[in-house]
Amino acid sequence: MTTAPLLQVRDLSVAFRTDRGDVEAVSGASLTVHAGQTVAVVGESGSGKSTLTAAVNRLLAPNGRVTQGSVTFDGVDLLARSERQMNGVRGKQIGLVPQDPMSNLNPLRSVGSQIAEVFTVHREARVREAKKKAVELLERVGIADAGRRYAQYQHEFSGGMRQRVLIAMGLALRPQLLIADEPTSALDVTVQKTVLDQLAELTETMGTAVLLVTHDLALAAERADHVVVMRKGAVVEEGPAQTVLTSPTAEYTRLLISAAPSLATSSMVTPPEGTAEPIIEVTGLRKEYPVRTGALGRRTPFTAVDDVSFTIPRGTTVGIVGESGSGKSTVAKMVLKLAEPTAGELAFEGTSVTGIGGRELFAFRRRVQPVFQNPYAALDSRYTVGDAIREPLDVHGVGTPAERRAKVAELLSQVALDPELARRYPHELSGGQRQRVAIARALALDPDVVVLDEAVSALDVLVQAQILELLVSLQRRLGLSYLFISHDLAVVRMICHVVHVMRAGSIVESGSPAELFHHPTHAYTRALLDAIPVGEAGSPSVVPAG
C-alpha cells in the first residue's frame, strides 16, 4: 500500500504510577493500520495489548501516561491534542467496542436511546432523527424487530445482542477506525462467530479499519489481515496473518501456537485398558430452581438440568461441554453434593449417596473434591497457601500437626510448586500458580474423584497447557477420576476419555472425543465445532504443533 497509513503508533511507551513506583505496561511498541484494514493485537493477559489501544484514543486510567513515542491518526498527532479535541475524535473518527457487554451499557436507560445519544453528542442529528438512525443501526447489526427493541433495557438483551448493540454504538458515526477490545471473549463460541461475522460484514461495507485486541491467536488469524503479537509490553512479532500463523519467527509466537488447543491437537490421554467399574453413576438427574416471573412474582420452576445420566469409570476423565446456561455447572455442583437434585440418583462406588447428610456426607466429601474456575476467587485471600492446603486436613483431623505440614510440602511439590510458596498469600501468586494451589488443596484428602469446573478457562493459553499436562500426569500417578466441565471443545478433546455435550439442561450427544469431533450426529454439536476459530476460514486446522 502506498497511501499514508490511517493509524501509526511509533515507539510508544506507557507507564502506570503505582505505590511501588512506575510500572511500564507498554515499552516501545509500534504498529500501523491502513485504511480499511483489520489489524489484530494478540497477547496474554498483562501483555499490554489493551493499554496500547487505550493509549490510541487516550482513554488510559488516570494513573497511566505516555512516556515516549507518537500516535498519528489520519495525519494528526493525537498525543498533542487537547482533551476537548479528543472528544471530537472519539466516537466520530475512532469508534470503540469495549470488552464486557455486561457492564458497558447503562442499565437505567433504554438500549436504543444510548445509540441515539452517539448522534446527538456529536451533533450529527437531532433527537427524532437520531432515533430513526439508531433503529436502522439495530437492524444493521442483525437485531430483529428493531423498532420495539429500541425501547427495551439491557437486561432484556442476551450477551450476544448486547455486544451487537455496542458494535452499533461503535460504528454509529461511520468512524475510520474501530477499536474492538476482546469484543467476543465473554460470549459463547457459537454467538462469538455470528457477532464476528456481523462485525466483519459491517466494517467491510463501511470501509472501516479495525484494531482487534484478542488473546486468541487462531481468532486473530481468522479475522485479521495483519497480526501483531505482544508480550510484556513489547511487540515480539508482526506480519500478515497467515505468515505469522504458519511460519512464525519469534520463539514466543511458536509457543503460543503450539500451546493453543485446537481440534487438530492430539489427545493427551490414552484410553484405559479394559473396562473399569464406574466410580460415579448418575441417573435421571434433574434440578429445578424456583424463579419469580410476571408482575405478581409467581414462582414457576425453571429446569436447569433435565434427566441427565452418565457414569465416570474409575481412572478416566469424563467431559461435559456446553455453552453458558446449559446446566453443566449445576451438574458439577450436584455431583459434589453442593446442590441437592430435585430428582434422580447419584451413586458413589455403587452405593447411593442421594440425600445423605451428617457423617456420611462428611465421609463423601473426602472422596470427591472440586477445583473451580476462578483461581482468584477460589482461594481465601486472607489465608496463606500453606494454610489453604492444610485446611482440609484440619477439618478432617488427618494426622498430627507435623504430619500435616509435611503433607502440605509434599502436595506442593506434587503440583510442581516450590514448597517455599506455602508461606505466601494467594495475591502474591500468578493465575497458574493459584490454580496449582487449588489442585493441591483438592488432592490433600487423597480423593478418588476431582470435579474440575472450568478449571483452566480463566488461564492464559501457555499456563493452560501446563495445568492440563499436570492434570494428566496426576491422573496417571494417582489413578484419579475427573469430571471435566468446560465450554471449550478443543480442551475437552485433549483431556477427556468420554464427552457429553449438554444443551439447555440435557445431554444431546455422547461419545469418545474422536467419534464426537469427527462424526458429530447432533446438529448442535456440529454448530459448536463449526464456530471454533481455526486460523483461516476454511482451513481445517491451525498448524501442526512443533
Partner 1 sequence: MTITAGPLAEAGPFGGTALPQAPLDDEKLPFRARLRRFARPQIVVGATVVLVWLLVIALAGVLAPHDPFSSSGGRLLPPSGEHLFGTDSLGRDVFSRVLHGARLSLPIAVLAIVLSVLVGSLVGAVAGFFGGWVDAVLMPTADITMAFPSILLAMAVAAALGPGLANAFLAIVAVWWPIYARLVRGQILSIKEREHVLAARAIGMGRWAVLRKHVLPHSLTPVSVNATMDLGSIIILVASLSFLGLGALPPSPEWGAMITDGAANFYQWWIAAGPGIAMVSVVLAVNFLGDGLRDVFDVKNRGR
Using DSSP, state whether 307 is helix, strand or coil.
strand
Minimum CB distance to partner 1 smaller for 469 or for 536: 469
Contact 244, 252 (CB under 8 A): no
Segment contacting partner 1 (CB under 8 A): 131-139, 183-191, 299-307, 427-435? 427-435
Q: Which of 293, 352, 413, 541 binds partner 1 (CB under 8 A)?
A: 413
Cα–Cα distances (Å) from 46 to 26, 50, 152, in that order, read 10, 9, 36
Q: Which of 310, 372, 482, 517 binds partner 1 (CB under 8 A)?
A: 372
Q: Which of 276, 356, 470, 527 binds partner 1 (CB under 8 A)?
A: 470
121 belongs to the binding site for partner 1 (CB under 8 A): no
Q: What residues from 34 to 93 belong to the interface with partner 1 (CB under 8 A)?
A: 44, 46, 61-63
273 belongs to the binding site for partner 1 (CB under 8 A): no
For the CA atoms of the chain, what is the radius of gyration? 25
Residues 6 or more apart whose CB falls under 8 angstroms from that of 250 comprise 229, 236, 237
Cβ count within 10 A of residue 177? 25
Greatest pairwise CA separation for the chain in angstroms: 76
Q: In whole angstroms, how close is the CB of 65 to partner 1 at the nearest point?
A: 12
Can you tell me the distance from the alpha carbon of 130 to that of 120, in angstroms, rounded to the nearest whole number?
7
Q: What residues from 278 to 297 belong to the interface with partner 1 (CB under 8 A)?
A: none
382 belongs to the binding site for partner 1 (CB under 8 A): yes
Q: Which of 206, 264, 336, 356 binds partner 1 (CB under 8 A)?
A: 336
Contact 55, 14 (CB under 8 A): yes
For partner 1, what does the binding mask look like between residues 232 and 251, x meaning CB under 8 A? --------------------
> Cell numbers 462428611 correspond to what residue?
362
Q: Report the candidate in 103, 75, 97, 78 with the shortest Cα–Cα distance to residue 88.
A: 78
113 belongs to the binding site for partner 1 (CB under 8 A): no
Q: Which of 338, 406, 514, 523 binds partner 1 (CB under 8 A)?
A: 338
Q: Which of 8, 110, 176, 433 binds partner 1 (CB under 8 A)?
A: 433
Q: How many residues bind partner 1 (CB under 8 A)?
A: 63
Q: In whole angstroms, how close is the CB of 377 to partner 1 at the nearest point?
A: 4
Q: Which of 14, 146, 280, 438 binds partner 1 (CB under 8 A)?
A: 438
Cβ count within 10 A of residue 107? 10
Helix (H) or strand (E) holding 196: helix 189-206
DSSP readout, 108-128?
TS-HHHHHHHHHHHTTSS-HH
Q: In whole angstroms, how close is the CB of 433 to partner 1 at the nearest point?
A: 5
Contact 329, 453 (CB under 8 A): yes
Can you tell me the distance from the alpha carbon of 438 to that of 388, in angstroms, rounded to the nearest whole number?
8
> Cell numbers 501509526 correspond to what residue?
8
Q: What residues from 147 to 186 belong to the interface with partner 1 (CB under 8 A)?
A: none
Q: In whole angstroms, how close is the CB of 16 to partner 1 at the nearest point?
A: 7
Q: What residues from 253 to 272 belong to the interface with partner 1 (CB under 8 A)?
A: 255, 258-259, 268
Cβ count within 10 A of residue 395? 13
Q: Which three cell numbers stand for residue 361?
A: 456426607
Segment contacting partner 1 (CB under 8 A): 153-161, 434-442, 512-520, 524-532? 434-442
For partner 1, what does the binding mask look like between residues 472 and 501, x meaning CB under 8 A? -x----------------------------
Order of strands across the sheet with 298-313? 298-313, 278-293, 343-348, 351-352
439 belongs to the binding site for partner 1 (CB under 8 A): no
Can you tell me the distance from the alpha carbon of 290 to that of 427, in angstroms, rounded to the nearest whole number?
37
DSSP readout, 4-61?
PPSEEEEEEEEEEEETTEEEEEEEEEEEEE-TT-EEEEE--TTSSHHHHHHHHTT---
Segment contacting partner 1 (CB under 8 A): 143-151, 275-283, 389-397, 529-537? 389-397
Q: Report the candidate in 205, 128, 220 with the shortest Cα–Cα distance to residue 174.
A: 205
380 belongs to the binding site for partner 1 (CB under 8 A): yes
Segment contacting partner 1 (CB under 8 A): 133-141, 390-398, 502-510, 512-520? 390-398
Q: What residues from 512 to 531 belong to the interface with partner 1 (CB under 8 A)?
A: none
The DSSP 8-state label assigned to residue 34 in this structure reads -
Q: Which residues bind partner 1 (CB under 8 A)?
A: 16-20, 23, 44, 46, 61-63, 252, 255, 258-259, 268, 336, 338, 361-362, 365-366, 369-370, 372-374, 377-382, 391-392, 395-396, 413, 415-418, 421, 425, 427-433, 436, 438, 441, 445, 462-463, 465-466, 469-470, 473, 545
